[in-house]
Amino acid sequence: MGDAVTELSSSKMFGGYNKRYKHYSNTLGCSMNFHIYFPPSPSPSPSDSLDSKNKVLFPVLYWLSGLTCTDENFIFKSGAQRAASQQGVALIVPDTSPRGLNIDGEADSWDFGLGAGFYLNATQEKWKNWRMYDYVVKELPKLLSDNFPQLDTSKASIFGHSMGGHGALTIYLKNLDKYKSVSAFAPIANPTNCPWGQKAFTNYLCGNKSDWEEYDATHLVKKYPNVSTTILIDQGEDDKFLSDQLLPHKFEEACKNGNVPLSLRFQPGYDHSYNFIATFIDDHIQHHAQALRLN
């Protein structure tokens, strides 16, 4: 283990381990926590990626959480570890924003500031440390590669929920060379046209709408249409944020226009909660495990 990372906790689950770590982020200018779920180590097969000691290297699946969440919500509530254990995939769960910087106004509202990094690089001076895009795409993968030899960070996929679904889609579309697949639960699919996105983008990115579009999946899918693996999205039909905040039909229309493969599944009776996520999480883990094996 490298000096940069400190283990905070460890608990066994489905034969593997939930482990929480702390490190100082040069990108964000503060200490950050993240979780890894390590599945149990199987006997190697001819198709497995192996290290120098012929141990199986686990592909990684990044989970990006939604507004108000930390690195703990998904680990405690999703039940994803069972399927990750079965599929031999490591789950990587970062926090949702910088912490401990004590920026004036960072905790004034639940949908902006703390717990609401929106997985972008802020351009406003006040929020210059809010660089969750670079943290997820650049710093965290390098940290994992340098400190966890059991992980194969060259085989990676990404998924998330709500704000994290927005983050997963935008990060994937802008980095098709880095991720094998993407999926989302109730993503903020067209943030330039919804109150959550407009509030975040106005404050983090100022008024330049072209900057906004760089973090809007509905715009990006037109710009980066070379997607070969089907994008999977689950959306609860009883989600109270569906019509005014999430706008999945806008993303669906953009995918159709760009011939981008999309499986958008509307689930009757389901809302925006982790009950919804836990119900369909196995499908998403399987979706990514298949892509990680094939690519």
User: What's the pLDDT tens digit per position in 111-149?
Assistant: 999 999 999 999 999 999 999 999 999 999 999 999 999
User: Which residues does the annotation mark as catalytic?
Assistant: 162, 239, 272
Q: What is the pLDDT of residue 44?
A: 60
Please report the pLDDT score of residue 52 as a whole number.
54
pTM, full prediction: 0.95
pLDDT confidence tier of residue 223, bands split at 50, 70 and 90: very high
275, pLDDT greater than 70 = yes
* Averaged pLDDT for residues 173-178: 97
Instruction: Reply yes or no on whether the pLDDT at 1 is more than 50.
Output: no
> What per-residue confidence (pLDDT) applies to 2?
40
Indicate whether 87 pLDDT > 80: yes
Domain layout of the chain by residue ranges: 5-41+56-292
State pLDDT tens for residues 56-78: 799 999 999 999 999 999 999 99
Which H, E and C letters describe the chain, residue by residue? CCCCEEEEEEEEECCEEEEEEEEEECCCCEEEEEEEEECCCCCCCCCCCECCCCCECEEEEEEECCCCCCCCHHHHHCCHHHHHHHHCCEEEEECCCCCCCCCCCCCCECCEECCECCCCECCCHHHCCCEHHHHHHHHHHHHHHHHCCCEEEEEEEEEEECHHHHHHHHHHHHCCCCCCCEEEECCCCCHHHCHHHHHHHHHHHCCCHHHHHCCCHHHHHHHCCCCCCCEEEEEECCCCCHHHHHCHHHHHHHHHHCCCCEEEEEECCCCCCHHHHHHHHHHHHHHHHHHHHHC
Domain 5-41+56-292: CATH class, spelled out: alpha beta
Split at pLDDT 50, 70, 90, the class of 208 is: confident
